[in-house]
Amino acid sequence: MANGRSIDWTLDRAVGLIRITANAVAPDKFENDTLADILHEKLLQVHEMLGEAGIDEYIQKQDLTLVSKVADISTYRVDTIIAMRSSTSGVECSEKGTKEFEKERLRAQITGGTKSIIWSRYGKNVEFEHGSSVTPGTITMVFKAIPEKKTYTTPTETIDIPDKWVPLVLDLAEAKIYEIMHEAPPESLAARVQANTEKIRAVSASEKARIKGTK
């Protein structure tokens, strides 16, 4: 989403809140851009925590444009590719490691290949191969996205994380300010970080129980 996943929290609002701590600890030391960088660093940390807990807040889909069986994915902020799907009925897309992909690509070019599509990621590109009898159709990439970084060129855009996780991002950002200034954070801040981290564990446990109950 170009405008972030939060509904209520713009970059300006979030930075304004952590500036209260910044000014209390070190008046006039932190520029808005610096606080925005700290905010994004901690947003990425929470993004990683959510991923480790199995909470899928950043799953997206994108139809790809293939040029000579290569798709450029550099504009999509791809963290992890979960799957590739073909719009052609009965055609499966299978991920291969680079060595296996190269071997199977050569085999496909020589023999005509199989009724499936194979793919492998090479940095900012994804390369595909398939037999001559396969019609790829539209290839859709399912992936986990990296949160978009917001800057003060667009301070009124909302930050790229759901509102329910914003308090933890803000608390971690405040704690980072104390760390930078080599000061101990208040016990109340440490307690908030702990409490909000526990919410991730609680949501994760609830989701795992739900999935188990559907089996």
What is the per-residue pLDDT across 109-134, written as a single tens digit (0 to 9) for each? 666 656 789 999 999 999 999 887 88
Q: Give the separation between CA 74 and CA 125, rounded to whole angstroms.
A: 7
Residue with tokens 């609002």: 13
Residue 190: CB atoms within 10 Å: 14
Give the C-alpha distances (Å, rounded to integers) separating 126 from 3, 103, 146. 26, 16, 17
pLDDT of residue 115: 72
Q: With a threshold of 0.95, does the pTM exceed it?
A: no
What kind and span of H or E run contains 82? strand 78-86
Residue 19, SS3 per DSSP: helix
The segments of the chain whose pLDDT lies below 50 read 1-3
Report the side by side order of strands in the sheet with 78-86. 59-63, 139-145, 78-86
**pLDDT at position 179, please?**
96
Q: What does the pLDDT read at residue 54?
A: 87
- DSSP alpha helices (H): ranges in the chain? 11-25, 32-52, 98-111, 166-180, 187-214
Tokens describing residue 146: 């990296």
Q: For position 132, what pLDDT does the model report? A: 79
